[in-house]
A and B are shown apart, each in its own frame.
Chain A
């Protein structure tokens, strides 16, 4: 069922200053008959997230052997098997450094996130998620939310500049209180105030519509059809704004959780794995309640200091010190950390899949970009850093595809992401990392 909105009347009423309170449950009236979009054709809100793990993986055991859709799952990706068709893999993308030197455990992720390889005198700008949040995070309660599983608020890869980092939430109870505590506005409650900027935008576009007749008088008949097309397009933008002026819809997907217990934080692997999952669960529920559309998760620092109880070397040390096992062909202890990280990644995807939204899930309506800081940590190699995108982005991307980068810069992934979110970006990256070519393989 669609409500036919008489926008003129509505507008005049609003411009006159009276706030309209209309309870329009999102799902009932605004979904189209398939439940996949709003009745106007505008899509459901799409979320963006990042997920970071340090110290890469073993290339030959992580990169799927086949390229394209239905790729063959590799040993180190076993944990994501049930989400394989929702996870795209990006291998073989390089990080040219323009002679600035490879700053161990920095250059790689900074290049991916901000598009710039750091170096003396080089200005590094905002990270991808900040750019996306500037576009889609303007009208949610939080512009973005960050969490770190190792208990360090500085363990965040979300930055406006390298010295302005969005700090991470590290302790579950504190995080819960921030999101669902006293300032939380329940969408299933009854009062609401519309955003005044949207009202002004409406009057702006309405004024253009008013000029239509005068305009068409000035041009020839063939051209009139094309200009009429313009006015049709104008109406659809007006529609988008009108929807913004409605109360936050009763949101079936939003259910406020019970408060968790306080949890210790630390670098021991089992603690990290547990804290990751608790924090991620709160984060997912925050997303379901539309408290934010952008989020960032870090399971470790870029040079992961996580260690296993009983083993005296950290993940980082092991990558440098542990010999490659002759029979296995990889470093078994160091690799066990990678496998745990991938399990936690899979856990996040499970949580997002469990939230139903319309006919799909939160994961369907999200795009989560996971990546590391290096390819083979032993040598700090920054070419071929493993990257993944999970989720269907509400149909803005194709998922479940292994894309071989063939040496293209890592920023092609970042650019594709920015454009998927309608960020005004034709290029991403600087110097040799600058690219203007998004990935047509995944980018619809």
Chain B
């Protein structure tokens, strides 16, 4: 569907639905409720953020977290609803929790983090312990503690203080009980029946608070949000909207956006990114780290700071550089330390995030570039089009040799892919895109020849021809599949589930509004956060029968631990 038609359709929808022209105005959408609630384990980022939010950034958190897992063709955010905690994982959480608790009660922190002093440091003080847990408990559990839960914490703190002859040690050990608790480690989002709509369930105010906070900031609800939940403000549309708008207006939105795009673009693979040092000496570990941050800074700049059009990410010449990245882009970077805004000239081959190291170097081998990997990444990450895996009996030797006199460029080497019928089906959809990026070697440096032969970066996508990567960026800018893919990812990220048939109507509606909103990302988040599909669930979904069989298989394999 061409952009023009889509725009016309949007206008039609807007007109018939009688919607206002205000960008990002929440509507309830076509779905009255969303899919089942899922329990998600905190990701590593979320755990760290939570500790920093509750106890301050001074408290050090480190150790081996149980790895976050990406669901098949999906996100880490959806994988979170599949993972459990293994014995060694919990052992590590416990080690971390004890380390955190010890820091909190140490002499440098206790006066700041504990709102009272015990009558005697050598004895139990249930009143002070109670005050401490009343303060931190709701932040840790992301809801009010029950009376019984409060009692238990104080009991243990008291018993500990008596046993150890030290109030603070008793308090610390009791605090560990909160941090090791599944109510902290897992997002258990409660639902309640909606008296106004029998048979229907909605998330409780605390659950709503948690959901919008993780969606927009990737963080636990702050005190203001928890208070709004307690006061019943989140029970109505206006109150919820107020909080959503507050979160969107905060500088913390950037953090949430970075986490989302890191998930969507699989940036965790930067951890292992390495190039052959003999061939690409400029691509140090620091360069790898910087190229990730460059991409994220560019994204935040376009989507938030400039409040711009998502599609401009594929064409923008503006970015940020460091001294380490300078040699790879072969430009003068004035700042000796830190980040410097940089704008490439309008005719520069560097146009859009696909031409940055964060894409071309990330999706490449250690020793040479890979049009196939790059093409696959565009298809799967930006267009949400899954490419099947290669057949098992492929002979790769012809393509491994880069010094073959006849096949000097990647285009030559991949000719066999495109002519061999077993390969062509998939390669036809990957290689042409990747070949557009061949002017960037595996380290992301610009080149016009490979092995002495000139590089031809031309091709076509969806019937539209392009000469080079900059042209490709323009085509992606206008490609109809690009916005719906983003919408889908946001929805999956928000709900923690891969999309299913029942979600499609809702996605289409969101996509139309996204276009009408000028493809602005904060507006998309707002719309999702306020939608019924996000805030309500179908009645039988509480039993969790909609989770796919794959989730069950994952659970079964973990049983043996």
Contact = CB atoms under 8 A, between A and B. Distances in A.
> Are chains A and B touching in the complex at the 8 Å CB cutoff?
yes
B397 interface: no
Contact of B39 (A197, A219, A232): A219
Nearest to A219: B39
Contacts of B543: 220-221
B555 A229 contact: yes
Contact of A227 (B38, B39, B99, B542): B39
A409 B543 CA distance: 51
Contacts of A233: 85-87, 89-91, 561
Nearest to A41: B87
Interface stretch (A177-185, A258-266, A331-339, A432-440): A432-440
Interface stretch (A167-175, A200-208, A293-301, A373-381): A200-208
Nearest to A207: B152
A196 interface: yes
Contacts of B329: none
Interface string A181-198: 000000000000000110
Contacts of A408: 285
B499 interface: no
A163 to B, nearest CB: 20
Contact of B156 (A135, A197, A203, A407): A203
B495 to A, nearest CB: 14
B144 interface: no
Interface in A113-143: 135
B183 A237 contact: no
A305 interface: no
A230 B84 contact: yes
B555 A201 contact: no
Nearest to A236: B87
Nearest to B186: A227
B305 interface: no
Interface stretch (A72-80, A311-319, A321-329, A421-429): A421-429
B163 interface: yes
B547 A222 contact: yes
Contact of A424 (B62, B85, B164, B555): B62
B10 to A, nearest CB: 36
Contacts of A24: none
Interface in B161-176: 163-164, 169-170, 173-174, 176
Nearest to A226: B84
B544 interface: yes
Nearest to A440: B272
Interface string A213-236: 001001111110111011011101
Nearest to B99: A424
Contacts of B92: 422
B62 A200 contact: no
Contacts of A135: 95
B293 to A, nearest CB: 14
A229 B558 contact: yes
Main secondary structure of the interface of A (DSSP, over half): helix
Contacts of B60: 424
A227 B277 CA distance: 45
B204 to A, nearest CB: 11
B177 interface: yes
A197 to B, nearest CB: 6
Contacts of A435: 285
Chain A: number of interface residues, binned into ranges: 35 or more
Interface string B65-84: 00000000000000000111
B91 A237 contact: yes
B90 A237 contact: yes
A199, A221, A223, A409, most chain B CB atoms within 10 A = A223
A433 B272 CA distance: 17
A200 B163 contact: yes
Contact of A229 (B37, B180, B561): B561
Nearest to B558: A229
Nearest to A428: B62
A32 interface: no
A18 B36 CA distance: 50
A133 to B, nearest CB: 15
Contact of B169 (A197, A237, A432): A197
Interface in B139-191: 149, 152, 156, 159-160, 163-164, 169-170, 173-174, 176-177, 180-183, 185-186, 188, 190
Nearest to B152: A207
A208 B87 contact: no
Contacts of B170: 200
Contact of A222 (B86, B95, B156, B555): B555
B380 interface: no
Contacts of B39: 219-220, 223, 226-227
Given A196-B164, A197-B169, A240 B91 contact: yes
Nearest to A427: B62
Given A204-B156, A208-B177, A406-B277, A215 B89 contact: no
Interface in B532-561: 541-545, 547, 551-552, 555, 558-559, 561
A204 B177 contact: yes
B37 A220 contact: yes
Nearest to B163: A196
Interface string B308-333: 00000000000000000000000000
A70 B327 CA distance: 40
B286 interface: yes
A233 B506 CA distance: 39
A15, A135, A218, A221, most chain B CB atoms within 10 A = A218
A200, A218, A219, A408, most chain B CB atoms within 10 A = A200
A203 B158 CA distance: 12
A102 interface: no
A222 B89 contact: no
B159 A203 contact: yes
Nearest to A204: B177
A440 B521 CA distance: 39
A423 B173 CA distance: 19
Given A221-B543, A237-B90, A424-B99, A437 B271 contact: yes
A223 B91 contact: no
Contacts of B84: 225-227, 229-230
Contacts of B183: 215
A230 B182 contact: yes
A347 interface: no
A431 B36 CA distance: 46
A350 interface: no
7 contacts: A197-B169, A200-B160, A220-B39, A223-B39, A230-B182, A419-B64, A427-B62
Question: Top 4 closest A-B pairs, CB basis?
Answer: A220-B544, A424-B63, A229-B84, A233-B90
Given A223-B544, A425-B62, 7 more contacts: A220-B36, A229-B85, A230-B85, A233-B89, A236-B90, A407-B277, A435-B285
